[in-house]
Chain A
Amino acid sequence: MSWQNYVGHIDDTCGQEKDFILLLKPEKKGEAIARIRAVMTVDRRIGDIMLQGTLLGTEATFFCNGKLILKGLGSRENLERFLDSLFPAS
Chain B
Amino acid sequence: MTMDIAAVRADFPILARTVNGKPLAYLDNAATSQKPRQVLEAVDRYYRQNNANVHRGVHTLASESTVLYEEAHQKAAAFLNARSWQEIIFVRNTTEALNLAATALALGHLKPGDEVLITRVDHHSNIIPWFLLKERFGILTRMVDALPDGTLDLEDFKAKLAGRPKVVAMTHVSNVTGWISPLERLIPLAHEAGALVVVDGAQAVPHFPVDVQALDADFYAFSGHKVLAPMGIGVLYGKRELLTRLPPFLGGGDMLETVCVVGGVCSLCLKALPWKYEAGTANVDGAVGLTAAIDYLAGLGWDAVRPHEESLFRRTVEGMRRMKHVRLIGPEDLSRRVGCVPFTVEGLSASEVATALDGEGIAIRSGFHCAQPLHERLGLSSSARISLAFYNTEAEVDRCLAVLESLG
A interface residues with partner B (beta carbon < 8 Å): 13-17, 19, 21, 44, 46-47, 49-50, 52, 61, 63-65, 67, 69, 71
Contacts and interface: CB of A to CB of B under 8 A. Distances in A.
Contacts of A61: 352, 355
Contacts of A19: 349, 351
B359 A63 contact: yes
Contacts of A47: 406
Interface residues of B, number: 20
The listed residue with most A CB atoms (<10 A of its CB), out of B20, B349, B366, B403, is B349
Given A14-B367, A17-B381, A49-B359, 13 more contacts: A14-B382, A15-B382, A19-B351, A21-B355, A46-B406, A49-B356, A50-B356, A63-B356, A67-B359, A69-B349, A69-B352, A69-B355, A71-B349
Nearest to A71: B349
B237 interface: no
Contact of A14 (B355, B368, B403): B368
A14 B384 CA distance: 12
13 contacts: A13-B351, A13-B366, A14-B367, A17-B381, A44-B347, A49-B356, A49-B360, A50-B352, A50-B359, A63-B356, A65-B359, A69-B351, A69-B352
B358 interface: yes
Q: Which of A14, A17, A21, A47 has the most CB of B within 10 A?
A: A14
Nearest to B352: A61
Interface string B314-337: 000000000000000000000000
A67 B382 contact: no
Contacts of A67: 355, 358-359
A21 B367 CA distance: 13
Nearest to A16: B381
Interface of B: 20, 347, 349-352, 355-356, 358-360, 366-368, 375, 381-382, 403, 406-407
A21 B349 CA distance: 12
A49 B367 contact: no
Main SS of chain A's interface residues? Answer: loop
A17 B382 contact: yes
B407 A49 contact: yes
A32 B6 CA distance: 41
A69 B366 CA distance: 13
Contacts of A71: 349
Contacts of A15: 350, 367-368, 375, 381-382
B194 to A, nearest CB: 37
Nearest to B350: A15
A83 B360 CA distance: 27
Nearest to A61: B352
B126 to A, nearest CB: 18
A14 B358 CA distance: 17
A6 to B, nearest CB: 18
B406 to A, nearest CB: 5
B325 to A, nearest CB: 11
Nearest to B366: A13
B305 to A, nearest CB: 30
Contacts of A64: 359
Given A19-B351, A50-B352, A61-B352, A13 B359 contact: no
Contacts of B407: 46, 49
Nearest to A68: B355
A46 B382 CA distance: 21
A60 to B, nearest CB: 11
Contacts of B403: 49
A19 B368 CA distance: 13
A45 to B, nearest CB: 12
Contacts of B360: 49
